[in-house]
Each structure stands twice: as structure tokens, then as C-alpha cells.
């Protein structure tokens, strides 16, 4: 932790008015942004594949993008995207009339 603080405070005067933003910028420079971007892309693609398998690739993509592997679980355990309609009532097919001929 001490090494991280030394890196964040390098060349920063703590009493200066913009010290917070300089420390913040130094901390952001330590983040491996490229690796995070590739991991997020992989999470989104796997989420889209799981969503496609469950019937809604857009939802799987969104859940994978936002929550990563937890979004995969949401995609897997959610009900399918297509609403299931009940079967038609007997005797009510196309071209048939009701019980009273109406």
C-alpha cells in the first residue's frame, strides 16, 4: 500500500489546490485499461452467446457487458425472451364459429 501511495503522490504537493486531481490522474495511470477493455469485450461476447442460446442475444450482451460473469448467470437463469402463448382453445381454429354458430 505504501508503494501505491508513493506512486500516486510522486511530484505532487499535498497543499496545492489541484493536488486531489493530480493524485487521481496518477492513480488512473496505474490502471491496466487495455486488459480491462479486452476482458469486458470477452464478457460481453460470452453473454451474447448465452443469450442467443436462451433466445435473446441482446439481453445476454447487455448483462454480460454490465455485470460480466454475474451477468452470465442472470442470462442463464432468466426466463427466455420469447413470450410463450397458451395453446388455442378447442374448436376455435381458423374458419370455425363458436358453439352457437356466431
Q: Furthest-apart CA pair in the chain: how many Å?
A: 91
Summarize pLDDT for 33-53 with one digit per residue, the tens: 999 999 999 999 999 999 999
Here the cell at position 60 is 445476454
- pTM of this prediction? 0.62
Per-residue pLDDT for 81 more than 60? no
The reported pLDDT for the residue numbered 33 is: 95
User: What distance in Å separates the CA atoms of residue 89 and residue 60, rounded to the nearest whole number?
Assistant: 34
Residue 80 has pLDDT above 80, yes or no: no
44: left (phi over 0), alpha (psi -120 to 50) or beta: alpha
Backbone angles phi, psi at 46, to 5 degrees: -65, -40
- The HSE-up count of residue 2 (CA atoms within 13 Å, CB side) is 0
The C-alpha atoms of residue 52 and residue 3 are separated, in whole angstroms, by: 45
Confidence (pLDDT) at 66: 95
Amino acid at each position: 500500500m505504501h508503494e501505491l501511495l508513493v506512486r500516486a503522490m510522486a511530484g505532487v504537493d499535498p497543499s496545492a489546490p489541484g493536488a486531489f486531481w493530480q493524485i487521481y490522474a496518477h492513480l488512473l495511470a496505474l490502471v491496466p485499461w487495455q486488459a480491462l477493455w479486452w476482458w469486458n469485450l470477452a464478457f460481453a461476447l460470452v453473454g451474447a452467446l448465452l443469450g442467443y442460446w436462451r433466445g435473446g442475444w441482446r439481453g445476454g450482451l447487455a448483462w454480460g457487458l454490465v455485470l460480466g460473469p454475474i451477468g452470465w448467470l442472470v442470462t442463464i437463469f432468466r426466463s427466455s425472451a420469447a413470450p410463450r402463448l397458451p395453446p388455442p382453445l378447442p374448436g376455435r381454429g381458423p374458419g370455425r364459429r363458436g358453439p352457437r354458430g356466431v
